[in-house]
Amino acid sequence: MWVRSATKEDLSAVRDLLVETWHATYDDVYGVEKVNDITARYHSLDALKKQLAKPYSEFIIADDGADIMGMAYASQKDHKLSILNQLYVHPEHQKKGVGSLLLAEVESAFPGVFALQLEVIDKNRNAVEFYESRGFEKTSTKIDDWGQPNSGISVIVLEKSLTGYELAP
């Protein structure tokens, strides 16, 4: 398995991975219709192209030479903080180290930044446990409007110090 920068040629496969992973994770929680709405909005090819082109960001995939097993996208908010916007692993490849490799790459991608922050849907207990087991700590909770206005999706904000990745003096 390799972790590498995503390219335009990867975006269709990344979209397929995101849609399949979201349905496997959230259909029972939010229903197929809401998951379709969210994936259409946030995981469209246009949205992924914008992410790929954004400065001060890292869009990476894990693949085995044939299939994309996972993806991550993070961006630098300012000189102190980076945001992990997405980290998804295909359901068939979860709990095999793919997410850990992607996270390690993202953590080292922004030298000089002091912390990495993310939001995770609170009903996704597997993701919450994954991040907490890797040193992330809950800083707050909030209601987000993913997919449609007033959707009321509760999210947990987690943050991890990135000491050890600072730039040399």
Distance CA 72, CA 82 (A): 13
| DSSP category for residue 8 | G
Distance CA 141, CA 100 (A): 24
Cβ neighbourhood burial of 66 (10 Å; 0-12, 13-18, 19+)? exposed
E strand spans, 24-67: 57-63
Summarised one tens digit per residue, pLDDT across range 90-122 is 999 999 999 999 999 999 999 889 999 999 988
pTM of the full structure: 0.89
User: Would you give the distance in Å from CA 26 to the centre of its chain?
Assistant: 15
Summarised one tens digit per residue, pLDDT across range 4-35 is 999 999 999 999 999 999 999 999 988 899 89
Tokens (6 digits) for 91: 């359901």
CA atoms within 13 A on the CB side of 114: 3
